[in-house]
Structure 1
Amino acid sequence: MDFYVAFNKTLNRFDLKAIDLARKTDLSMQRVSQFKDGFNVRVDTLQKLLEVMPQEAKRYMLTLVAEGETDSPPSTGG
C-alpha cells in the first residue's frame, strides 16, 4: 500500500487532523495536504509525521504499508 493511502486511512481511523500534525512538526499544511493527495515527500518529512503520531497510529500505518492490506488479515497462502 502506498504511504499516502496508509496515511489517510490512519488519520481517519484514529481521528487525527492533518493540521495538528503539521503544527507539531513545523511542516506547512500545504506540504501535509500534498502528501495526503499522493504527492511524494522526502523521507525526513515522513519521519517527522510518524514521530508525532500516537504509537498505535504509527504502528497501524506502518503495518498497512508493510502488509499492503487495508483492514484484512494477512493471506495464509495455500
Structure 2
Amino acid sequence: MPTSFLEIVELPDGSIVLRRAEDEGVLVTLDFSDDAKAFLQGQHVEIAKAMFNTGVQMAGRVSEGDFEREEEGPRVLH
C-alpha cells in the first residue's frame, strides 16, 4: 500500500473509520454498540484511536516481513 496520511473520522451514523486523508474510501470501520459506548463512558473514540494505532503498527510489521504466521488454516481470535 502506498504511503499516505491516514485519518480517523467519526461518521454521522456513529461509525469510526480509518481512511486515507486524500480519499473518501474507508479502509477500516469500527462500530461500537450502545452498551459498549455506555461501558466506555463516552471514551469509545479514544479506544478506537488506540485500536487503529495498533493495527497500523501491525500492518507495518507485516509489510516489512517482521511478522510471520506459523499456523495454517482457521484461527481462533480472542
TM range (shorter): under 0.3
TM-score, L = length of structure 2? 0.25
Q: Going by fraction, where is helix more abundant, 1 or 2?
A: 1
Q: Going by fraction, where is strand more abundant, 1 or 2?
A: 2
By relative contact order (CA 8 Å, sep 6+), the higher-ranking structure is 1
Larger Rg: 2
TM-score, L = length of structure 1? 0.25
